[in-house]
Amino acid sequence: MVTTRIAPLLQRAGWPIAIGALLCIQIAPLPLKLLGVLALLAVAWYRPDITLPLVPATAPLYLIPVALTATAGIPLHEIVLLISVAGWVGMRWRTRQPIVTLSKADLWPALLILSATASLLWVLPEGRSEALRSWRWIIVEPIIWFLVIRTAIQTQRITTQTLIRVLVASGATVAGLGLLQFVGLDLVPWLGSKRAFSDNIVAVDNVRRVASVYGHPNNLGLFLERVWPFAVLGIMVPAWRTRWSWPVLVLCAIGLVLSFSRGAWLAAVLASALLVLANRGAQLLRQKPWLMLVAVSAGLAVAAGALLARGTNVGSLDARVLFWYESLTWLQQRPWGLGLGQFYFYHNPEYGHSIIDPSLIGTSEQYAAHPHNLILDLWLNLGPWGLIVVGVLVVRAWRQSILAPQASWPAITAGIVVVATVAHGVIDQFFFVSDLIYCFWLCLVLIAVDREPVTRL
């Protein structure tokens, strides 16, 4: 009797119930948090098409964990993931169907897990907890979500439109919170205690940069540059256009501007140019893929010129060059890498292992947790084999989307996101942050369901 009442209710009002449950879990007192968990579990049990897309959409809150006690917390996206997977497993068990479908290409995610697990063998004692968290948050859980969401799309339980629109709505929300910060209304503290040292508004040389829910404006730019191409897709392709497409696009544009991340601006402009090129000259792009290399190289040259033009007083080029030199020195000594999540413990002289340049001591750069380069970051965290695995995933995404004949617009856009964020990753983060890694696997999902053959296991 209860089941016959709940199922129709969730069919009609599943989204409002899920959003209300998320708010309860994030900001309400503990008894209401538990009520929110139960409500979200009910939604996941009957409507996994709602809860599974909410995992990457809630990942931007990773620095504002759900408070369980005065000192303990868990990220909202991890709670949503656990509930979503539990609901999905329950639904597949009830219908006597395989939990996930696998393909030969899943060898690469498996090798990524293997590389990350091997890197745990040589982590520092003081960095072991961080390594295990990174192994769970950055490697294992996103791959589990990738396998489940791919299966859900392939079995027509979830549409790619839902997945993309939920991500874009998340980007618009994050950008909207940043806009409110800029005009003097900061709602982010209502979401919980942010585990970051910087302020929500960073004033540098008469420029006010907003961080929104993040610890730094650059992270806001990194997320929105991944959302931006999908927002543009909603304008460019009539089949994807809704009445919310323009407001969402404008909010994402404002958020990108207010982040004042020139790397994010580069990625957004590059992605937009590639989208236009794919729309107007897709055949040319596939026949002459070197045009994309030219576009990326030109964009990187412009970015490097902008950094040089700023000078050392307001730019970060000098610090990044020092990071790169330091990382290369470590790789000469430890070609197998430092271990997952260990850069901070080797870089910060407080832990006694550092070869940091003396000019960085006493500045905010002393506390950097990554070397601001995707190749060095992947190698230091996962070893050369992990770098190869991610490289293969990126190249496969490029070939199976942008260069593939008859690829769908979601797949093409996902490939463009990967290319544009790799370009930005040359001088910034690319992989080892919760929201970025879920965006990465989301793009691979959109590409995989477009053309990948499936073997049921």
Q: Where are the alpha helices (DSSP H) in 237-373?
A: 245-259, 262-287, 290-310, 317-333, 343-347
Relative to beta strand 66-67, strand 201-204 is: unpaired
Angle at the Cα of 422 from the Cα atoms of 258 and 144, rounded to 5 degrees: 100
Cα gap 424→343, rounded to integer Å:
20
Reply yes or no on whether the pLDDT at 298 is more than 80: no
- Top-ranked range on mean pLDDT: pick from 138-142, 304-308, 326-330: 138-142
pLDDT at residue number 240: 82
List CB contacts of 333: < 8 A, sequence separation 6 or more.
none
- Does the structure show a pLDDT above 60 at 314? no
The conformation of residue 348, written as its DSSP 8-state character, comes to: S
Amino acid at 182: F
pLDDT tier at 455, thresholds 50, 70, 90: very low
Q: Are 126 and 351 in contact (CB under 8 A)?
A: yes
Tell me if residue 134 falls in helix, strand or coil.
Answer: helix
Angle between helices 160-182 and 217-236 (to 10 degrees): 130
Please report which confidence band the pLDDT of residue 441 belongs to, taking 50, 70 and 90 as the band edges: very high
pLDDT of residue 403: 80
Beta bridge partners of 455: 102
Q: Say if residues 397 and 252 touch (Cβ distance below 8 Å).
A: no
Contact between 188 and 181 (Cβ < 8 Å): yes
Determine the residue type at 20.
G
| Through-space distance between the first and last CA atoms of the chain, rounded to whole angstroms | 35
The answer, yes or no, to whether residue 22 has pLDDT greater than 90, is: yes
Closest CA to 233 of 224, 221, 225, 245: 245
- For residue 203, what are its two tokens? 């004033």
Q: Round to whole Å and give the CA distance between 432 and 377.
A: 8
Question: For residues 162 and 358, what is the distance between their CA atoms, to the nearest angstrom?
Answer: 50
At residue 299, does pLDDT exceed 60? Answer: no
* Cβ 179 vs Cβ 255: under 8 Å: yes
> How is the chain split into domains, by residue range?
1-99, 103-158+271-457, 159-260
DSSP at 137: I
* Whole-number average pLDDT of the chain: 87
Q: Which residue has the tokens 């590409």?
A: 447
Average confidence (pLDDT) over 403-408: 81
Element (H, E) at 209: strand 207-210
The contacts of residue 252 (CB under 8 Å, 6+ apart) are 168, 171, 172, 175, 224, 227, 228, 231
Q: In whole angstroms, what is the distance from residue 417 CA to residue 413 CA?
A: 6
Within its chain, how far is the Cα of 213 from the centroid? Answer: 14
Cα separation, 305 vs 281, whole angstroms: 29
